[in-house]
Amino acid sequence: MKTRNSVLYALGLAAAISFGASMTADAQARTKTPRRRARPAQRIPVRKDVPQPAKTDTVIVTRVDTVTVRRVDTLTGPTVMRYDTVTRMVYPPLQRLPGLFFGIGAGSTIPMNNIRALVKDSWGFQGQVGFFPMNSPLGLRADATFGQLHARETDCPTCKSAKLWSVGGDVILRMPLDRTSKLNPVLYIFGGGGYAKFSDVDPRYTAFFKSTKEPVWNNEGKFYYDVGPGVDFNVGGLHLYAEGKYYTILTDRKNVHVFPVYGGIKFY
C-alpha cells in the first residue's frame, strides 16, 4: 500500500509540474508575439479636412431717432406740459441765371417826337449777344437792329418808308425777382451807345425839316446813345425776353428819337 501511494504521489507531482510549464510557455508566447487585428472587409473612408460651409453674416441695422423736447413750466396753478416743435424748411433749387447768351427778337420800330409827324410805327428785328460773369448783376452785350418807319398815307401817300439799322453795345444791370419760381422773372435795365444809319429817307422829309429848322434827317450815319428796360422769363423750356430801347440819334440841330420795342427768345 505504501508503494502504491508513493507512485500516485509521484505521478500527481509530475502532472502538476508539466501543467505549470505549459502555462508559463503560453504566457511567454503571448508576450513576445503581438496579436494581429482583424481587418474589416469594407474600408471606411476617413477625410482629414472637411470644408466648412460658408458663413453668411446678415447685419440688419435699424435706427430710429426719436427726439422729443419737453419743457415743464411750473406755475402756481396746474402743471402745464409744453411741446417745442422744430420744423426743417426745404427750399426749392434756384433757377440758373445766364452767363453767355444769344438772343433774337422782333417787334415794332416807333418814331418819337419830331419825326412822328411824317412817319409812323412799323416792323423791326433785333439780334444780341451778351455775357454775365457767373451770377454777377452786371453784364455786357452787343446788339444789331434793323427796322422800318412807315410813311403816313394821309400826309404823304407817295413818300418812301425810311429804314433804320444800328450796331451798338450796352451795360446791363439785372435784378432777379424770384429764382425759386419756374417762371424765374428777371428785370434789367441797360444803357450804352453805337452807330445808326437811316436809308430810304424821302427827300421831301429832308426839305420839310430844313424849312422848319428841325433836325437834319437824311440818309447819313450818326452816333447815338440809348437806354431802356427789359424783362427775362421762362415759359416751359424757353427763355423769353421783352424790352424797349430808346434811341437818341445825334444830328446837327435837334436830335432824332426812335423807340423800338422787341420780344424774342434767348439761348444760354
Least confident segment among 87-101, 166-180, 249-263:
87-101
Cα 90 off chain centre by: 17
Please tell me the total count of domains within the chain: 1
In a domain, residue 128? The reply is: yes
Angle, CA of 68, 72 and 77, to the nearest 5°: 150
**pLDDT > 70: what percent of the chain?**
66
Q: Would residue 236 count as lying in a domain?
A: yes
Model confidence at 28, pLDDT cuts 50, 70, 90, reads low
Find out whether 157 and 120 touch, Cβ atoms under 8 Å: no
CATH number at residue 170: 2.40.160.20
Q: What is the mean pLDDT of the chain?
A: 80
Please check whether residue 106 is in contact with residue 123, taking contact to mean a CB–CB distance below 8 angstroms: yes
178, part of any domain: yes
Which residues span the domain enclosing 210? Answer: 100-267
- Please name which of 234, 238, 231, 102 lies closest in space to residue 174, comparing C-alpha atoms: 231
Structural domain contains residue 211: yes
Q: Is residue 208 part of a domain?
A: yes
Q: Is residue 170 part of a domain?
A: yes
- Determine, yes or no, domain membership for 7: no
Residue range 252-262, pLDDT digits in tens: 778 999 999 99
Asked if the model's pLDDT at residue 83 lies above 80, the reply is: no
User: Does residue 148 belong to any structural domain of this protein?
Assistant: yes
